[in-house]
Amino acid sequence: MNSSVKLILYILIIAVFTACKSTSKLHKQEHLTHKSSSEFYKIYSQKLGYDLEGSEEKKFVETVNAWLGVPYKYGGCSMEGTDCSCFVSVFYKDVYGISLPRKSEDMQQQTKTIEKAELKQGDLVFFKIEDVKVSHVGIYISKGHFVHSTTSKGVMINSLDENYYKKYFHKAGRVNVKS
């Protein structure tokens, strides 16, 4: 074989292995969905870093897990890199089939304000970190935990009880679904 054919084959092999790597999380998730509920929630409690209630929607939990570790990218809107509002927007479209605005401050306009004590899976949590307007958004999971894209560590799970998030918490909102 000449060197150009070898190079083409090498590039094709790399492309195939890269594609397989990016879909490996999805294939594992499909396998876990078929496990018993108690086993599913036990496995995902370990993956997400806290004990799930056991009533969270499986697709929701799997989607959270798939996004964990995706790096932060300002203006990014994919699993290659995402900012907080695009993460929420894409997540909502994938899990609920609902389109949300691209900016966190606009998202809050499509929510009904609720008390922290009323938070349910899928509700949005808004923060005023840098300004007088909403500058950060996340999605409530359960037991005081939410998933969001941070500038320092990308998509991750935190607790609303952490001092930083207590300090900057603005409001909780439930997405208005128009019938």
Set out the domains of the chain in order of their start, with CATH numbers.
Answer: 58-175 (3.90.1720.10)
* 27 belongs to the catalytic site: no
Chain centre to alpha carbon of residue 69 = 9
Q: How far apart are CA 178 and CA 70, in angstroms?
A: 31
Element (H, E) at 16: helix 3-33
pLDDT tens-digit profile of 86-127?
999 999 999 999 999 999 999 999 999 999 999 999 999 999
Contacts of 129 (CB under 8 A, 6+ apart): 135, 136, 168
Q: What is the mean pLDDT of the chain?
A: 86
Read off the tokens for 70. 């995706």
Strand-pair partners of 174: 112
pLDDT tens-digit profile of 25-68?
444 444 555 668 889 999 999 999 999 999 999 999 999 999 99
Query: Which one of the listed residues 86, 145, 148, 170 is annotated catalytic?
Result: 148
Lowest-pLDDT range of 18-22, 37-41, 173-177: 18-22
Positive or negative, the Cα torsion across 111, 117, 118, 121?
A: positive
pTM: 0.81
* 136 belongs to the catalytic site: yes
3-state SS, residue 110? coil
Q: What is the CA radius of gyration of the chain?
A: 19
Q: How far apart are CA 159 and CA 68, in angstroms?
A: 15
Positive or negative, the Cα torsion across 62, 120, 50, 79?
A: positive
Query: Which one of the listed residues 86, 136, 145, 170 is annotated catalytic?
Result: 136
3-state SS, residue 59? helix
Read off the tokens for 159. 């607790």
* 84 belongs to the catalytic site: yes
Q: How far apart are CA 156 and CA 19, in angstroms?
A: 24
